[in-house]
């Protein structure tokens, strides 16, 4: 009986509508704040792009002259956002399995899409850099293997989603797949690059060739990280609102 | 019935079905043998490098496992017996029973196919114990990941063909580790690097099994 009552009261949440309500009731103040944020983001990105060409000096230790190493201003933040978005996608997938709230599924999907876009950017910039520094676009370096597997997993994730018609079943099964992938992928993404010798420079470890970053590079690099994170948050917000409106329209049609 | 008895009952049911029709086993064996013969034939008796031979073994295992493992849940959906099974047992015993069945199926296939593989490619095994352990652990890992993923694929519109797409990225760590270990076992490299690969296989199998036991409930119960 209690369960039945709960279902009755929670039925309005069946399409995950109420928990997205904050995206719907946009007040005047939050709109002004959003516009300020977008302007700041646009200015920041422009400054980073110009600075990466004109201000950042060559970084010795990368390639022959270090001229090509300026690409880290784009490559590393893109990879960071890819990892962050995939992580958030998994978090929302697990949250969907626990709460069965479809707005969580939409968030997982938006993050998976954004993660794939940034992962592609990281792969392409990495391949271009690899060509400039070592003469080959692709040679199955452990880092390249792990990023290729990440892309494959999310490609399979999107195929799985497209093969399921029912919204609840799609959300449930794709959440299970994303979680299962999250358990097995650390082998490739984090263990393999550290066990097998890789050409990829390690920025965090400190012992690598790249540990000495000059202050000019560091400033632009950190600014780029912040701007990329802002861009990610903005795109995520747009995606969530878009899928929310689509779900609302389906609801109105009585589907 | 207690938990482990339910699990054995599911295994027995699948075993009995399989002995009556020999559907999965026959398809699996024929798939593996056909691939093996096709490769051997196209090489026309040329000498195969150990590196290539090791990866060929796991490509054959991967694709034949995909044809056989998908059967376990697709058959339940096709005959409409999935609902009865859901009523009869919890998700845990069903998963373990199906996993044990798939593992037994693949080990059976490996016992028949591996000798044929060694004969056809004219290979000699340097580290027999390591080779047997690699094949066993690799095949069990294929069964573990294949079981939960085939349960996912069975609920979709594409069924069997989706399984390969879903499995490859998840199984890639296993395939890389197993191929490395097989290469070492065939060429007789140092045992230490082999132990690294074998312990990775054990760790992989353990984590996939643990995750599957936790997640299978969400796949199985609508």
Per-residue model confidence as pLDDT tens digits over B184-216: 888 877 777 788 888 888 988 999 999 999 999
Residue A153 domain-assigned (yes or no): yes
Is residue A206 predicted with pLDDT exceeding 60?
no
DSSP of B190-214: -HHHHHHHHHHHHHHHHHHHHHHHH
Per-residue pLDDT band at A198 (split at 50, 70, 90): low
Residue of B nearest to A161 (CA): B156
DSSP of A60-123: TTSTTTSSGGGGHHHHHHHHHHHHHHHHHHHHHHHHHHHH--HHHHHHHHHHHHHHHHHHHHHH
**What would you measure as the largest C-alpha separation in chain A, in angstroms?**
74
Domain boundaries, position A90:
30-197+212-253
Q: Do B165 and A172 touch (CB under 8 A)?
A: no
The DSSP symbol for B46 reads P
Choose, out of A175, A176, A194, the residue to mutate when testing the contact with B (most B CBs < 10 Å): A176
Residue A11 domain-assigned (yes or no): no
Per-residue pLDDT band at A14 (split at 50, 70, 90): very low
In angstroms, rounded to a whole number, what is the distance separating the alpha carbons of residues A64 and A80? 26
Q: Do B170 and A180 touch (CB under 8 A)?
A: yes
| B99 contacts in chain A (CB < 8 Å) | none
Residue B188 vs residue B159, higher pLDDT? B188
Residue of B nearest to A164 (CA): B156
Choose, out of B153, B156, B193, the residue to mutate when testing the contact with A (most A CBs < 10 Å): B156
Residue A110 vs residue A65, higher pLDDT? A110
- Which is it for the CA torsion B123, B127, B133, B137, positive or negative? negative
Where along chain B do its domains lie? Answer: 3-220
Residue A54 domain-assigned (yes or no): yes
- Number of domains into which chain A is organized: 1
Which pLDDT score is estimated for A11?
39
Question: CB of B208 within 8 Å of any CB in chain A?
Answer: yes
Report the range of poorest mean pLDDT among A82-86, A213-217, A237-241, B40-44. A213-217
Q: Do A180 and B158 touch (CB under 8 A)?
A: no
Give whichever of A5-9, A139-143, B13-17, B55-59 has the largest mean pLDDT. Answer: B55-59
Token pair 């201000």: residue? A55
Per-residue model confidence as pLDDT tens digits over B22-51: 877 888 889 899 998 888 888 876 777 888
Question: CB of B169 within 8 Å of any CB in chain A?
Answer: yes
Is residue B93 predicted with pLDDT exceeding 70?
yes
> In this structure, how many other beta carbons lie within 10 angstroms of the beta carbon of residue B26?
12
Is residue A203 predicted with pLDDT exceeding 60?
no
Token pair 């140092």: residue? B190
Is the complex ipTM more than 0.90? no
Option in B162, B169, B176 nearest A181 (CB): B169
Which pLDDT score is estimated for A187?
63
How is residue B19 written in tokens?
């002995």
Is residue A101 predicted with pLDDT exceeding 80?
yes
Q: Name residues whose C-beta falls within 8 Å of residue A39's C-beta, 6 or more positions apart in sequence.
A: none
Per-residue model confidence as pLDDT tens digits over A137-173: 888 887 888 888 889 999 999 999 998 888 889 999 9
**Closest-CA distance of chain B to residue A91, Å:** 14
Burial class (CB in 10 A: 0-12, 13-18, 19+), A170: buried
Q: Do A97 and B218 touch (CB under 8 A)?
A: yes
Residue A41 domain-assigned (yes or no): yes
CB contact at 8 A, A113 and A92: no
Find the helix or strand (DSSP H, E) in which A3 lies. Answer: helix A2-10
Per-residue pLDDT band at B6 (split at 50, 70, 90): confident
Is residue A10 predicted with pLDDT exceeding 50?
no
């Amino acid at each position: 009986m209690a369960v039945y009552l709960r279902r009755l009261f929670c039925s309005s949440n069946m399409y995950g509508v109420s928990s997205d309500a904050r995206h719907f009731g946009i007040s005047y103040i939050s709109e002004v704040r959003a516009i300020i944020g977008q302007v700041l983001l646009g200015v920041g990105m422009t400054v980073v792009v110009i600075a990466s060409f004109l201000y950042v000096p060559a970084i010795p230790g990368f390639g022959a002259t270090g001229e090509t190493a300026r690409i880290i201003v784009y490559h590393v933040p893109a990879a960071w956002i890819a990892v962050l978005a995939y992580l958030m996608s998994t978090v929302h997938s697990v949250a969907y399995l626990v709460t069965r709230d479809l707005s969580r599924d939409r968030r997982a999907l938006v993050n998976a899409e954004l993660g794939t876009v940034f992962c592609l950017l990281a792969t392409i910039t990495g391949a271009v850099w690899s060509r400039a520094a070592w003469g080959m676009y692709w040679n199955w370096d452990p880092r390249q293997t792990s990023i290729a597997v990440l892309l494959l997993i999310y490609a399979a994730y999107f195929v799985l989603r497209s093969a399921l018609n029912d919204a609840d079943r799609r959300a449930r099964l794709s959440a299970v797949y994303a979680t299962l992938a999250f358990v097995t992928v650390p082998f490739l993404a984090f263990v393999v690059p550290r066990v097998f010798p890789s050409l990829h420079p390690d920025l965090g470890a400190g012992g690598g060739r790249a540990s000495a970053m000059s202050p000019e590079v560091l400033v632009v690099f950190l600014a780029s990280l912040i701007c990329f994170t802002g861009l990610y948050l903005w795109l995520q917000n747009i995606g969530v609102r878009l899928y929310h409106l689509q779900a609302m329209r389906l609801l109105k049609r009585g589907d | 019935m207690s938990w482990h008895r339910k699990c054995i009952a599911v295994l027995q049911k699948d075993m009995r079905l399989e002995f009556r029709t020999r559907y999965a086993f026959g398809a699996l064996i024929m798939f593996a043998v056909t691939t093996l013969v096709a490769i051997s034939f196209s090489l026309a008796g040329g000498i195969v490098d150990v590196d290539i031979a090791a990866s060929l073994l796991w490509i054959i295992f991967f694709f034949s496992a995909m044809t056989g493992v998908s059967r376990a849940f697709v058959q339940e959906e096709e005959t409409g017996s999935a609902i009865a099974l859901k009523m009869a047992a919890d998700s845990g015993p069903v998963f373990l029973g199906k996993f044990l069945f798939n593992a037994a199926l693949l080990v059976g296939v490996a016992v028949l196919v591996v000798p044929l593989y060694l004969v056809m490619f004219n290979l000699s095994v340097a580290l027999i114990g390591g080779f047997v352990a690699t094949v066993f652990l690799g095949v069990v890992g294929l069964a573990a990941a294949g079981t939960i993923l085939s349960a996912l694929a069975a609920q979709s519109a594409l069924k069997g063909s989706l399984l390969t797409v879903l499995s490859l990225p998840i199984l890639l760590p296993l395939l890389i580790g197993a191929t490395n270990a097989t290469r070492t076992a065939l060429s007789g490299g140092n045992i230490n690097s082999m132990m690294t690969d074998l312990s990775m296989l054990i760790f992989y199998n353990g984590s996939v099994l643990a995750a599957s036991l936790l997640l299978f409930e969400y796949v199985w119960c609508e």
